Amino acid sequence: MALLSILHHPDPRLRRKAALVTRFDDALRALIEDLFETMYAAPGTGLAANQVGMSMRLAVMDCSETRSQRIVMINPEIISSDERREMEEGCLSVPDIFDKVQRYNRLHLRALNEFGEPFEVCAFGLMAQCIQHEIDHLDGKLYIDYLSPLKRERIKKKLLKREAA
């Protein structure tokens, strides 16, 4: 297993829509383990493959306090959602910056696991928020895209200044 480098905004690779996963092999499962190791070390609750430069529709999550409820989402899709509410959000690709965004509090997800087997889950609260956040990454979106243009520009300048230091 290996710790991977997490890309930071405004890296253009974060804006690319990820490709569907079609091969379910040992290399994919090794990448999944690396994603979990990187996410836990960061520390975070979710990590999409394109956040580490891999353009594939794969994300991992663990919203539990005990770090014992690992979820692998491959080619995920939200099939229903309801009850929007404002939630505070942050991102490993936009480090140390948090703001409130509108997210669905409940959703129904369909995805594949690391063996290519389909599964569905009904999620609410933090888990629903994390699923939406990671799917946004796979679509080339960041949570800051839901903020005003002025806030986004301030965040970008702050991150560029931090990177230059």
Position 127 in a domain: yes
Q: Give 16-59 pLDDT, tens digit per residue.
A: 999 999 999 999 999 999 999 999 999 999 999 999 999 999 99
For the question of residue 88 being annotated catalytic, the response is no
Query: 107 is in which domain, residue-wise?
Result: 12-164
Position 65 in a domain: yes
For position 165, what pLDDT does the model report? Answer: 74
For residue 91, give the nearest of 141, 35, 149 by alpha carbon. 141
- Whether 98 shows a pLDDT value over 80: the answer reads yes
Position 33 in a domain: yes
- The CATH number covering residue 114 comes to 3.90.45.10
Among 77, 88, 134, 153, which one carries the catalytic annotation? 134
Contact between 23 and 30 under an 8 Å Cβ cutoff? The reply is no
Comparing 164 with 114, the larger pLDDT belongs to 114
Q: Given CA atoms 37, 41, 42, 43 in this order, what sign does their dihedral have?
A: positive
HEC readout, 69-104: CCEEEEEEEEEEEEEEEEEEEEECCEEEEEEEEEEE
For position 42, what pLDDT does the model report? Answer: 95
Position 6 in a domain: no
Q: How much of the chain exceeds pLDDT 90, in percent? A: 87
Taking the model in full, what pTM does it have? 0.94
Q: How confident is the model at residue 141 (pLDDT cuts 50, 70, 90)?
A: very high
- Whether 76 shows a pLDDT value over 90: the answer reads yes
Structural domains in the chain (count): 1
Q: How much of the chain exceeds pLDDT 70, in percent? A: 100
Q: What is the DSSP letter of 159?
A: H
Position 4 in a domain: no
Q: Give 100-109 pLDDT, tens digit per residue.
A: 999 999 999 9
What is the DSSP annotation of 41-52? HTT-SEEEGGGG
For position 140, what pLDDT does the model report? Answer: 98
How far apart are the C-alpha atoms of 103 and 128, rounded to whole Å?
Answer: 8
